[in-house]
Amino acid sequence: MIELRHLPRDAANEVITRWHRHHKPVRSHYWATGAWVDDELLGVVIVGRPVARALCNGKTAEVVRLACRGGDSNVGSRLLGSAYRAARAMGFTRLVSYTRQDEPGTVYRAAGWHPCARVKGRAHAGGNRPGRWLPGLYEPSTEIVDRIRWEIGPDAGLRMVNGEE
């Protein structure tokens, strides 16, 4: 039986450091949830403010990290489902997340999410990033790759066409 519990940010970030394939820990978040089976942590989801400014409307939250070790094939979809229920309880009407275009998004489909947009990969060179004023010292947290935006909720965007959905 999967048990879901709140997880402090630092504990969630430790899991991300160990298990996530291509992202680093988060700097801020709204909340994090861990999934346990028999007192063994098998996954974590971290929800925060949307990274894209266009989505920062006060009613949209973003799953910024999802990492599962395995052991139970339902852990990822259970974490996504719990993130959506918590978001709705807090007044959010849309929850978004991204996968790399080469990832199937199986756990998102299992949790009732829909692929809504293709997002072109680009470097995050804007703002006050260390790379702008300390060349050579900034290391990107992930490679530049196209992504799929997944959404759930009453304000979720239209589903993609062309063979998706």
CATH number, domain with residue 114: 3.40.630.30
For residue range 85-125, what is the model confidence (pLDDT) as tens digits? 999 999 999 999 999 898 889 999 999 999 999 998 876 55
Could you tell me if residue 24 is inside a domain?
yes
Q: What is the pLDDT of residues 27-61, one digit of tens each?
A: 889 999 999 988 899 999 999 999 899 999 999 99
The tally of domains found in the chain comes to 1
For the chain, first and last CA: distance in Å?
A: 31
Longest C-alpha distance within the chain, in Å?
A: 50
Q: Which domain holds residue 23?
A: 3-152
- Give the pTM: 0.82
Query: Considering the domain boundaries, does residue 91 fall inside one?
Result: yes
Measured from the Cβ of residue 43, the count of other Cβ atoms closer than 10 Å reads 27
Q: 165 in a domain, yes or no?
A: no
